[in-house]
Amino acid sequence: MNDKIVFVSISIGLLLCAHLVIWLSFTSLVKRFYKPQSDAGRKSIQGLSNSLKWGLFFLLFPLLESKFSPEDWSYISQFKIFQILFYVNLAWVLIALTALLKYYFLEHHSFIKTDNLKERRMHTQVSFIQKIIVVVIVIVAFSFVMMSFESARKAGQGILASAGVAGIIIGLAAQKSIANLLAGFQIAFTQPIRIDDVVVVEGEWGKIEEINLTYVVVCIWDQRRLVLPIYYFLEKPFQNWTRTTADIWGTVFLYVDPTIPVLDLKDKLKQILDNTDLWDGKVQVLQVTDMKSTVLELRCLMSAKDSPSAFDLRCLVREQMIHYIQEKYPESLPKTRVLMDRMEETESIENGRPK
């Protein structure tokens, strides 16, 4: 009885020692090579640390069990449940390691800057590849767990023997899922969209927030989320405003009376753009693009470094141009003219009718 109590005590002590060793050494050791700058990076370190605490125990226990195991007991490390837990823990360690490597890479290629095309391309590929690796790890771990059972092993051999027929059946049943997965591979490497791309889909303006194995999440300007199947971006047209660069042009249309001095408005537009940081200094044009029966159509064209800046710049130009016209040329705001025929007015007086 005493040797069994000793065995349980040593096992618990070994588990506590494994946790203590990893807790004291792992985090400080990792931070010599990787200092996380985000909460996700810190959580990835904590996740790998937690998995290694159990991993060290599962590694040391089979090696030391023979030293203190009671003679009338079978080795616990040879039980199926211990092997299954070992496989599960190993999968946990590998998944946590892929997450840590992902954030290590992404934080060294941050796309929080103006010209971030290369970084966004890398983010898209790394995120997708990490998801694929996680799926492979889970499938392999599940296979090892199932192969631990004799009945599952025999069933697996039978499935392999009829793999041709089973493959056809599974392929037909999961046709849509397989198409989504293949579309994900195509998007990850041909990249019609990338993480943080500005797109217009289904009439909504937003940014690509997530690219998962089977669906894409678009963060719309008002913080709603539009979730689309990943093959949507291969089968249907959409607008990508940051496909090659984030630069974009913005337009403002003004409708004024034909008597307004256009050259003066051009000078005012230049003054507005010179006094704001929203303009990138590249494009600045004011043109008469149409003349209707009662108004002139003026188009103010300007450029900005990205689409949010372009939207704010358009609003600024529209507000200040209207304010300028109201103050200096109020008579040139759109109006409707009515011309009275003088002869008709004279005839009305002679016939005794009031004006």
218/226 Cα distance (integer angstroms): 5
CATH architecture under which domain 191-240 falls: Roll (2.30)
The residue ranges of every structural domain in the chain are 2-186, 191-240, 248-332
> Residue 347 has what pLDDT?
59
The CATH class for the domain spanning 248-332 reads alpha beta
Is pLDDT of 272 > 90? Answer: yes
Q: Each residue of 289-344: pLDDT tens digit?
A: 998 888 899 999 999 988 889 999 999 999 999 999 999 998 888 777 666 665 55
> Percent of the chain scored above 70 by pLDDT?
84
Residue by residue, DSSP assigns 78-92 as: GSHHHHHHHHHHHHH
pLDDT band at 149 (very low <50, low <70, confident <90, very high): confident
Is pLDDT of 230 > 90? Answer: no
320/92 Cα distance (integer angstroms): 59
Closest CA to 36 of 99, 121, 120, 90: 99
Checking 42-51 for CB contacts under 8 A at 24+ apart, the result is 44/96, 44/99, 44/100, 44/102, 44/103, 45/100, 47/96, 47/99, 47/100, 48/93, 48/96, 48/97, 48/99, 48/100, 49/22, 49/23, 50/96, 51/89, 51/92, 51/93, 51/96
124/189 Cα distance (integer angstroms): 9
Token output for 190: 């041909």
Mean pLDDT computed over every residue of the chain: 83
248-332: same fold as 191-240? no
> Residue 114 has what pLDDT?
63
Q: Each residue of 163-208: pLDDT tens digit?
A: 555 556 655 555 666 777 778 778 877 888 888 889 999 999 999 9
Distances (CA, A) of 31 to 27, 41, 44, 249: 6, 11, 12, 44
Q: What angle do CA 103, 93, 129 make, to 5 degrees?
A: 45
> Residue 121 has what pLDDT?
77
